[in-house]
Amino acid sequence: MSVLNGKKILLGVSGGIAAYKTASLVRLFIKAGAHVQVIMTPASKDFVTPLTLSTLSKNPVHSSFFNQDDEDAVWNNHVDLALWADLMLIAPATSNTLSKMTTGNSDNLLIATYLSAKCPVYFAPAMDLDMYKHPSVLSSFNALKSFGNIMIPAESGELASGLSGEGRMAEPENIIAFLEADLESKLPLKGKKILITAGPTYEAIDPVRFIGNHSSGKMGFDLANEAANLGAQVILVAGPTHYKAKNSLVEVISVVSAQDMYDACHQYFNDVDVAIAAAAVADYRPKVVATQKIKKAADEFSIELEKTKDILASLGAIKKNQFLIGFALETENEIENAKLKIQKKNLDLIVLNSLQDEGAGFKKETNKVTFIDQDFKIEPMELKSKESVAVDILNKVVSHFTKS
């Protein structure tokens, strides 16, 4: 899966012959799973039509501060466009547009939006070779880079003038590769390996029946997807669940019982940097599993249970430098029970859920958690979607490695 997947990309097109390449560029963005909006300078429409880019991007193309053909003259808000974007790319970036970006000469929608952007801004220059090497253009390059913008260098080749040399806008495939490589290199968990558990476990009574719980596995899968999006190599040990990993970089190990999950976790734990135990593992299992389906006969029936192995405690007992996060689902004395679990299981952080909180618990789209670290610092959070809770938890992981 491309690192561009799900990214909101604002493409600025200025008036150079290389603008014709933006049709292919937009198609590649869409193919990578990105969301694209396009801003064109008036001059760029001489080289590629707004209809083409609108059709390919599946969004209206913006070119002026308001739509002149609209009786209501709806304003195209450059601030909203800038804040929408995860990244902005100006391609082709002509010498004229580069100069305006440098000086802040905001005479069109593209420059106004650029000046409002808070996201990373990339620019791909395109011009003739003498222009590309002119001191004024080189000055623009240096100024823009000093502002924090990122230059995608022009390539050498045949130019529109008939000359051959440096100044040709990078090919769309190379622009995509440049962006992916740059974004991947800046992912905060790049190079980290994370083990995550998810879902319930099923403890067999006989070939038909089992002891389980209501965990859906959503929290663990959201954690795995977010960790992969942040650049981590993710191993997800998942009990029975209908969820699938959205990020193809997540390696899913499917298990059924607590013993299966125990074995899988211990297989990978020594090689990971982080372990997050989000699964709802059964505390007990039948001591004897019937080989045949148990017939309904007696009015009463009892099953002798035995404890399952405590996966989280066993990992805490052998951890070296791993950052170990556990979950606690409590119904009473929540804070005190969570603190005891931190000590008993040698955790660095615990994520406390209370079934007393509306909107939290199993089979919910939302969760309300409280973070408690090994120093017993308590940080209650608001009710959020489980995707947002996953972001908060992974931010704790990022913060841990930033400090260390």
State the DSSP string of 49-77.
-HHHHHHHHTSPPB-SSB-TT-TT--B--
Residue 160's pLDDT band (cuts 50, 70, 90): confident
**Cα atoms found within 13 Å of the Cα of residue 1, Cβ hemisphere only:** 19
Residue range 189-248, pLDDT digits in tens: 999 999 999 999 999 999 999 999 989 999 999 999 999 999 999 999 999 999 999 888
Give every CB contact of residue 386 below 8 A, 6+ residues apart in sequence.
218, 219, 222, 364, 365, 366, 367
Lowest-pLDDT choice from 186-195, 254-263, 331-340: 331-340
CA 161 to centroid of chain Cα atoms? 43
* 301: helix, strand or coil: coil
- The percent of residues in the chain predicted with pLDDT above 70, rounded, is 94
Whether 332 shows a pLDDT value over 80: the answer reads no
Q: For residues 187 and 208, what is the distance between their CA atoms, to the nearest angstrom?
A: 46
Q: If you average pLDDT over residues 273-299, what whole number do you get? A: 93
Give every CB contact of residue 319 below 8 A, 6+ residues apart in sequence.
269, 275, 346
pTM > 0.85: yes or no: no
Predicted pLDDT of residue 74: 59
Token look-up 């969004």 returns: 59
Q: If you average pLDDT over residues 336-341, what whole number do you get? A: 92
Whether 319 shows a pLDDT value over 70: the answer reads yes
Q: If you average pLDDT over residues 86-112, what whole number do you get? A: 95
φ, ψ at 359 (rounded to 5°)? 90, 0
Name the nearest CA neighbour of 147 among 101, 88, 181, 107: 101
Predicted pLDDT of residue 82: 92
Predicted pLDDT of residue 307: 96
Return the number of other C-beta atoms located less than 10 Å from residue 309's C-beta. 14
Residue 315's pLDDT band (cuts 50, 70, 90): very high
Q: If you average pLDDT over residues 377-399, what whole number do you get? A: 94
Q: 34: which 2 tokens?
A: 């990105």
Q: For residues 314 and 88, what is the distance between their CA atoms, to the nearest angstrom?
A: 47
Name the nearest CA neighbour of 124 among 169, 166, 159: 169
Q: Which of 69-73, 157-161, 330-334, 346-350 has the highest mean pLDDT?
A: 346-350
Name the nearest CA neighbour of 281 among 319, 242, 325, 237: 237
Whether 67 shows a pLDDT value over 90: the answer reads no
DSSP code for 271:
G
Predicted pLDDT of residue 65: 73
Whether 76 shows a pLDDT value over 90: the answer reads no
Predicted pLDDT of residue 347: 97
Predicted pLDDT of residue 33: 93
Report CA Rg, the chain: 28
* 252: helix, strand or coil: strand
Task: Please state, rounded to an integer, the average pLDDT across all residues of the chain.
Answer: 92
Q: How many residues does the chain have?
A: 404
Partners of 354 in beta bridges:
330
Name the nearest CA neighbour of 27 among 46, 43, 3, 11: 11
Residue 68's pLDDT band (cuts 50, 70, 90): low
Q: Kind of pairing, strands 369-373 and 378-380?
A: antiparallel
Name the nearest CA neighbour of 87 among 193, 151, 22, 10: 10
**Cα atoms found within 13 Å of the Cα of residue 81, Cβ hemisphere only:** 29
The H or E element that residue 349 is part of is: strand 349-354
Whether 355 shows a pLDDT value over 90: the answer reads no
Token look-up 């739509």 returns: 67
Q: If you average pLDDT over residues 277-298, what whole number do you get? A: 92
Whether 389 shows a pLDDT value over 90: the answer reads yes
Give every CB contact of residue 59 below 8 A, 6+ residues apart in sequence.
35, 36, 37, 38
Predicted pLDDT of residue 236: 98
Q: If you average pLDDT over residues 357-379, what whole number do you get? A: 81
Q: If you average pLDDT over residues 259-285, what whole number do you get? A: 97
Task: Enumerate the active-site residues.
Answer: 213
Whether 72 shows a pLDDT value over 70: the answer reads no
Q: 229: which 2 tokens?
A: 């999006």
The H or E element that residue 403 is part of is: helix 386-403
Partners of 237 in beta bridges:
197, 253
Domains of the chain and CATH, by start = 8-185 (3.40.50.1950), 193-403 (3.40.50.10300)
